[in-house]
Amino acid sequence: MSRKPRLVVVGSINMDVVIEAIRPPRMGETVMGESVRFIPGGKGANQAVAAARLDADVHMIGVVGGDPFGHTLLDSLRGSGVDTAAVRVLDDVPSGVAGITLAGGDNSIIVVPGANGRLSPDDVAAHEDRIAEADAVLLQLEIPMETVIAAARTAKRRGVRVMLNPAPVRELPDELLALTDVICPNRIELETLTGLPAEGKALPKAMRQLRQRGAGQVVVTLGADGAAFLDERDHWGTEPGRSVRVVDTTGAGDAFHAGLAVALAEGRSLPDAVRFAVCTGSLAVTRFGAQTGMPSRREVDELESRKN
């Protein structure tokens, strides 16, 4: 492809309040933390930033509050080259916030959607022209479900690839699955969506269930084990993980989804695109923070060209 991949992200924009501790507290317990940092995040915004760093032309459709967090979040998107003309700023609602506990490189997250809850089907309709010009629309589930469905319907009607990262996981209407060209859950999300085990030999069966319910291609992230994929002709395969030093897993799934979208938009085959996505996600975990940890195109190309 001679032009850059063009992607539209319809999704959340959060300020991540990241508290590092030796271990997470148990319910009812207080533990001492090591540090607190405020890092731009949100699954939608993370995917937008990751794709822009991979040299895609990225447009974000979202909502932030008119508070100091909102301005910082917009700056972070713009600083990575994301077009924010379709991000609304609302003065009467706080920006989305994620409380993240980081312990031993792994995290637990509570998201308070705030302004993200006001992203509506009207926002999608207002920017249909941008969607129509895209190679793919990237969706997640931190915004109202009716908005996710409206974006998927619009993209489908305009012949644009619909990519869904079903996180945080919740029940998916069959209509949304039928509109989805590529669904990209992690293993736990796959188990929740299907009610089936997804460990070891059980994995392909769970992935096939999503295809039987209407999804096109299914790609499952497996953490350090890489990823598995199932294409529309029922070909199943895996891509091994890259061995890296894990600093912070926050945003790894977002990096993966962005990498997958960019590579598919560049016309790469599904197995090739999954390899590129595994490399993108692997590099993201080697650095602290969601958006601050997203790798550059050069870094991903370099890792991909290396033998594992």
Reply yes or no on whether 254 is catalytic: yes
Query: Could you say which of 67, 135, 248, 254 is catalytic?
Result: 254
The sign one gets for the Cα dihedral 4, 9, 15, 16 is negative
What is the largest distance, in Å, between two alpha-carbon atoms of the chain? 57
Residue of 266, 293, 290 lying closest to 56 (CA atoms): 266
For position 77 contacting ligand RIB by CB under 6 A, the verdict is no
Distance (Å, rounded) from C-alpha 294 to C-alpha 277? Answer: 12
For position 166 contacting ligand RIB by CB under 6 A, the verdict is no
Which residue among 57, 67, 123, 142 contacts ligand RIB (CB under 6 A)?
142
Distance (Å, rounded) from C-alpha 148 to C-alpha 166? Answer: 10
User: Which string of x and - marks every residue 4-33 that binds ligand RIB (by CB under 6 A)?
Assistant: --------x-x-x-----------------
For position 250 contacting ligand RIB by CB under 6 A, the verdict is yes
Element containing residue 96 per DSSP (H, E): strand 96-103
Which residue among 98, 136, 207, 218 contacts ligand RIB (CB under 6 A)?
98
Distance (Å, rounded) from C-alpha 119 to C-alpha 88? Answer: 9
Task: Select the residue whose beta carbon is closest to ligand RIB and give its number.
Answer: 41
Which residue among 5, 114, 251, 259 contacts ligand RIB (CB under 6 A)?
251
Residue of 227, 296, 222 lying closest to 260 (CA atoms): 227
Comparing CB distances to ligand RIB, the nearer of 227 and 230 is: 227
Q: Which of the ranges 144-152, 230-238, 246-254, 267-275 carries the binding residues for ligand RIB, by CB under 6 A?
A: 246-254
Residue 11 is which amino acid?
Answer: G
Distance (Å, rounded) from C-alpha 299 to C-alpha 78? Answer: 21
Positions that interact with ligand RIB (CB under 6 A): 12, 14, 16, 41-43, 46, 98, 109, 111, 142, 250-251, 253-254, 290
- Residues annotated as catalytic (active site), given as ranges: 254
